[in-house]
Amino acid sequence: MTRALAALYRTFYAGVLSRLPEPTAIALGQTALRLLPLDRLGAFRLDDPRFAVTLGGVPLPNPVILAAQYYDPRILRRAMGLGFGAVTTKSITVDPRPGHPRPNLVRTRTTAGPGLVNCNGFQNPGLAAFRASIVGLPHRVPLIVSVAGESVQDYVTLVEALAPLGDLVEINISSPNTRLVYAWSERPRELRAVLETLGRMSPRPLIVKISPDFADANERHIIPAALEAGVRVVNYGNTRRIEEPRLSQSAGGLSGPDIFPATLDNVRRTRKRFGDALEIVATGGVDSADKAITLLREGARAIGYFTGFVTRGPILARRILEALRRGV
């Protein structure tokens, strides 16, 4: 049954969604998510106590995570009933941001499959409005609150206000579309100070989300700094920065299956280098059950995806869990 649903969604994506102008497809997809009570259907979930994992000490019912992109509480609430073991919010900034002008999202299609390039630029309602919007959100599964800042003070303000409303906090230092956070990877000493400060004050476990564009700095400076600050979860990682003339910024972050080989390499290398001291959330290019299982076998504690949710549909989480059940 789920195989048929997956095939149906692929046909819908190829025949309808991917042919619409991007803003129309986004509006359609998000409206459907808000309106259709998919989370009440059992078809998208699979519960099995053997799937349980912990992330930074927080229990997750399974290791499949929806990666950062949505801030609308109606969508977050739905996503929590679509099979994921945890759901991540969009990266929230202290002040509201309109994001970059359109075109800020385009599709790619290579032999690896359908992907996206975005220069969203942290379009979000800002700390105060976002905080108010999620105060009453039930946590059917853990909520990972993602934050993005350009100073220690920004991160302290964000973590103070949002951590109590989440189960874990993800420190985004890796989105490539604004200098806002991307530059952190080039300032490891200052980043270390940020992580130490947050490690001391956060009431929730921290995740650092790192960039596949800085593999060397990640392994030499950033992961060691995180571990020394008591942060033991790394999300590896964000989109890969590429030139893209169709976008308003002429560059953006590539996501989807083209970045999967790098995700796999990054997981293998960091697992080998840092051992069990580090919990890795492997994100980047997961659009099939096979890819998810491969990353978990290579030592990821959990896997995350966003593009696969769009291109393979909400049934993907269930497909991954079915494959996981076959393997346990």
- Report, in Å, the least distance between residue 259 CB and ligand FMN: 6
- Report, in Å, the least distance between residue 254 CB and ligand FMN: 8
Nearer to ligand FMN, 90 or 319 (CB): 90
Q: Which residues pair with 115 in a beta bridge?
A: 108
Nearer to ligand FMN, 105 or 206 (CB): 105
| Sign of the CA dihedral running 278, 85, 121, 123 | negative
The continuous run of DSSP H or E covering 105 comes out as strand 105-110
Residues 177/118, Cβ–Cβ less than 8 Å = yes
Nearer to ligand FMN, 37 or 313 (CB): 313
- Report, in Å, the least distance between residue 40 CB and ligand FMN: 25
- Report, in Å, the least distance between residue 239 CB and ligand FMN: 5
Site of interaction with ligand FMN (CB under 6 A):
67-69, 90-91, 105, 116, 118, 120, 122, 146, 172, 175, 209, 238-239, 255-256, 259, 283-286, 305-308
91, 146, 174, 175: the catalytic one is 175
**Known catalytic residue at 175:** yes
The C-alpha angle 57, 133, 211, rounded to 5 degrees, equals: 50
Cα end-to-end span (Å), the chain: 21
Nearer to ligand FMN, 202 or 235 (CB): 235
The SS3 call for residue 108 is: strand
HSE, side-chain direction, 13 A CA sphere, residue 141? 29
- Report, in Å, the least distance between residue 221 CB and ligand FMN: 20
C-alpha distance from residue 285 to each of 11, 137, 170, 303 (Å): 20, 29, 19, 10
- What helix, strand, coil percent values describe the chain, rounded to 5? 45, 20, 30
Which positions are annotated as active-site residues?
Answer: 175
